[in-house]
Structure 1
Amino acid sequence: MIDAREPIIVRSPLRGEWHSPNTPGTKIPSHGTNKLGSRYAYDFIQVDWERKGWPAYRVSLAQYLLFGVPLDEYYCWGQEVYAPCDGIIVKAEDGYKERTRTKLLSDMSNAYKNAHYFDPKKDDIQSIAGNYIIIECGDNVYAGLVHLQTGSIQVSVGQNVKKGDVIGRVGHSGNSFAPHLHFQLMDSSDIATANGLPFAFEQYELFKNGTWEKVNNGIPTNKDRIRF
């Protein structure tokens, strides 16, 4: 499929330094599927750039593999999430419980099950999305912010938001390997049936050759160290 549509420009829903392990800047579909509006979706985590492998958690690799990691040991868990566009809240689903820690094998099993057996006609979309917000940004353009921290959503359906308003916090709810923000644009407010839309970020900085360089209307890759 040829992607002929020009990317929509939005503001980042995050602040500070981030890494995107799954991004349309590296491959399309970015998550290996066009389902659930995720063709051009980004995942964002925070990592320790000085440690080997850029871990997203403070503990050792051995603890991660053997015992899992409590959510508050992840750098990005609880970070504020901001509205990426002016718009109206059309969905705001909270109350889906997060697992208290990551566990590699059970999280992988859960992800496999959801990827292969999720049925949008009968299964609850929150089993995939967890706590999530959908903002109508324009005609047939909807922003989905997914896997939010339980109890963190600060907006309600029908509320108008401005670009940059705090709307929630990064979490680990739903189909999530580790705390992160999953962010996508769609042509529908129904995640189960939506098509993904391409988009870029109006401004960020890229760490390159020891300095920060400004990027306008850019799409980061999975190798980039970026700062919003």
Structure 2
Amino acid sequence: MNTEDKPIIAAFPLRGEWLSPNTPGTKIPSHGTDRFGTRYAYDFIQVDWKRKGRPAYRVSFLHYLLFGVPLKEYCCWGQNVYAPCGGTVLRAEDGCEERPRTHFLSDLVNAYKNAHYFDPAKDDVQQVAGNYIILQCGKNVYAALVHLQKGSIFVTPGQKISKGDLLGSVGHSGNSFAPHLHFQLMDSSDIATANGIPCAFEKYEVCQNGVWIPVSNDIPTNKDKIRASPQSF
């Protein structure tokens, strides 16, 4: 477990098999920065484990480079997202358009622009977060689920929720290089100014040599093939 402080334990917010290319189990800060509360944040994608390079899309790599990829061709786009904790919905921001397809160069330009020119004092945080949900999970503990699919959010501000409740769907809104779920815990409900909080998952499984091994209260690395433990839902 590679964290600097004792992590808070949360439920794994997805179903099915996933990979975390950016995780505090491999490096901290997991996203290369402390901005926007991302110090201990996770990104989750689904990939084709049988194809070379483990692509997250169903088309060829050449097709991706030349033409881009429609969102429907991504393995995880539209997958359900579940509450990692019980608590209260503080924010549920929807309506942000998703770019209809990924394209390497345009997505790279978009990511560069947001990384270098986003000003939290004057710019809308949806420019970075896209469609997102913020939950209050405890005293000074807030969960953010980011880049959700437009029109997919099921909850509203002020709503009480339980761990495992359906929240929305994986999308490609905001500063997203490809469809994925960005998940983090933080010490404030304001993504623009929050500090990240370490988080581990209470029950999940890691596939080792074709066998699913139960794991408790731990943090996946960027090489782990993981899924929520059946006992967790």
Q: Same fold (TM over 0.5)?
A: yes
TM superposition outliers: structure 1 runs of 4+ over 4 Å? none
1:180 aligns with 2:180: yes
Deviation (angstroms), 1:32: 0.2
1:101 aligns with 2:101: yes
Deviation (angstroms), 1:206: 0.5
Q: Distance in 2 between matches of 1:13 and 1:205?
A: 13
Q: Distance in 1 between matches of 2:103 and 2:42?
A: 22
Q: Distance in 1 between matches of 2:212 and 2:161?
A: 30
Q: Distance in 1 between matches of 2:74 and 2:210?
A: 25
In the alignment, which residue of structure 1 is the partner of 2:111? 111
| Alignment of structure 1 residues 34-45 onto 2, 5 Å | 34-45=34-45
1:16 aligns with 2:4: no
Q: Distance in 2 between matches of 1:145 and 1:103?
A: 23
Q: Distance in 2 between matches of 1:117 and 1:49?
A: 36
Q: Distance in 1 between matches of 2:90 and 2:59?
A: 38
Deviates more, 1:2-11 or 1:133-142: 2-11
In the alignment, which residue of structure 2 is the partner of 1:82? 82
Deviation (angstroms), 1:94: 0.1
Letter in 1 for 2:14: L
Letter in 2 for 1:42: Y
Q: Distance in 2 between matches of 1:59 and 1:201?
A: 32
Percentage of identical aligned residues:
72
Q: Distance in 1 between matches of 2:42 and 2:29?
A: 10
In the alignment, which residue of structure 2 is the partner of 1:26? 26
Letter in 2 for 1:49: W
Deviation (angstroms), 1:85: 0.2
Q: Distance in 2 between matches of 1:32 and 1:162?
A: 32
Give CA-to-partner distance per residue, 1:171-207, whole Å, 9 cap, x none.
0000001000000000000000000000100011101
Q: Distance in 1 between matches of 2:135 and 2:78?
A: 20
In the alignment, which residue of structure 1 is the partner of 2:63? 63
**What SS is found at the alignment partner of 1:9?**
strand
Deviation (angstroms), 1:5: 2.5
What is the total number of aligned residue pairs between the two structures?
Answer: 227
**What SS is found at the alignment partner of 1:173?**
coil
In the alignment, which residue of structure 1 is the partner of 2:218? 218
Q: Distance in 2 between matches of 1:78 and 1:68?
A: 18
Provide the alpha-carbon RMSD of the alignment: 1.0
Q: Distance in 2 between matches of 1:218 and 1:54?
A: 24
Deviation (angstroms), 1:114: 0.4
Per the normalisation by structure 2, the TM-score is 0.96
Letter in 1 for 2:82: Y
Per the normalisation by structure 1, the TM-score is 0.98
In the alignment, which residue of structure 1 is the partner of 2:152? 152
Q: Distance in 1 between matches of 2:217 and 2:51?
A: 30
Q: Distance in 1 between matches of 2:31 and 2:113?
A: 16
Deviation (angstroms), 1:209: 2.0
Q: Distance in 1 between matches of 2:4 and 2:215?
A: 22
Unpaired runs of at least 5, structure 2: 229-233
**What SS is found at the alignment partner of 2:91?**
strand
Q: Distance in 2 between matches of 1:5 and 1:75?
A: 34
Deviation (angstroms), 1:3: 5.6
Deviation (angstroms), 1:218: 1.2
